[in-house]
Amino acid sequence: MQSDFADRPAFETIRPRRAVAPLVFNSPHSGRDYPERFLKLTRLDHLSIRQSEDAFVDELFGRAPHLGVPLLRARFPRAYLDVNREPYELDPAMFVETLPERYNTSSPRVAAGLGTLARIVAENKHIYSERLTLADARMRIEGIYKPYHTTLQTLLSTTLNTFGIVVLIDCHSMPRLTRSGDRIPPDIVLGDRYGTSCAPAIIELAETLFTSAGLKVARNRPYAGGHTTRTYGRPQHGVHALQIEISRHLYMNEVTLTRGPDFAAIQQIMTRFSAALIQLDISRLTRDYAEAAE
């Protein structure tokens, strides 16, 4: 099966003129290029199918390459392919054929309808009008998912070889969380897999900066970091990973999926965060993680 992105890039790396710090930014869910064939497979209208996008997150962090660090961003949408999952984390009920036994068909993400190829978007809206073929899944996974992660791994390895350490910032957005009793829901959720995917200095810097900007910050609940954070975050090997979830109500209209009046202000906060990370003492990361692990 020919790739839906045979005539255009499925993702892109925006590189700085010169890398100045051991940072890599990743925006895997902000893609909004919907292939025509995919749209013919869905039962949803164009606005509904976009409900799972981390809309405009790549733009919120868009100044990072100008500051001297690369940004990898998807152009394909999350409803089409989710690279923050295992490569073959698939729901058997979605396919015409029986899936191979080696595929992960029973994870909590699959059960929720949010596997590598999602069954639903927000509000439990089913994406497809009919079952898919295994060839379709392989086209997306072999042709886009795996090259995406190869690109990300190369960025991390190159940065690690250059600086001796690398920090991956995995950039996401989340629906506005509901209030629980008298607890105010967070604007930002920072995920470091409960202290295992990055040095304390990184998440502490992030929390301090966002809090000082007037934002409510939580750690690891309800988002501790997905497949990307879990897979690449290996502080003991010099690779640190932090996931950031930004509440969409801060910068966009969640109904019309358009930029809100505070978009530029939130973008500026993310730029300040990027700049602060660039200034972070690299030797401190290694020292702090070693001390925390003792």
Cβ contact 103:90 at 8 Å: yes
Report whether pLDDT(290) > 70. no
Q: Which residue has the higher pLDDT, 282 or 224?
A: 224
Q: Give me the pLDDT at residue 183, please.
A: 80
Residue 148 pLDDT > 80: yes
Identify the pLDDT of residue 62. Answer: 98
> What domains can be seen in the chain, in order of their start residue?
11-293 (3.40.630.40)
pLDDT value at residue 178: 82
Q: What is the mean pLDDT of the chain?
A: 95
* DSSP 8-state code for residue 179: P
H or E segment at 191?
A: strand 188-191
Per-residue pLDDT, averaged over 205-214, amounts to 98
**What does the longest C-alpha to C-alpha distance in the chain come to?**
55
Interatomic CA distance for residues 184 and 273, integer angstroms: 23
Q: Is the per-residue pLDDT at 181 higher than 90? A: no
CB environment 183-203: b (16+ within 10 A), e (fewer) = eebbbbbbbbbebbbbbbbbb
Q: pLDDT (tens digit, 9 = 90+) per residue, 254-279?
A: 999 999 999 999 999 999 999 999 99
* Predicted local distance difference test score (pLDDT) of residue 281: 84
Q: What is the pLDDT of residue 159?
A: 97
Helix H or strand E segment including 14: strand 11-14
User: What average pLDDT score do residues 178-185 get?
Assistant: 77
- Stretch 227-236: mean pLDDT: 97
User: What contacts 114, CB < 8 A, 6 or more positions away?
Assistant: 82, 85, 120
The phi, psi pair for 17, rounded to 5°, reads -60, -35
pLDDT reported for residue 291: 67
Cross-strand partners of 128 = 42
Q: Which pLDDT band, with edges at 50, 70 and 90, does 179 fall under? A: confident
Q: What is the pLDDT of residue 120?
A: 97
How many alpha carbons fall within 13 Å on the CB side of residue 34?
19
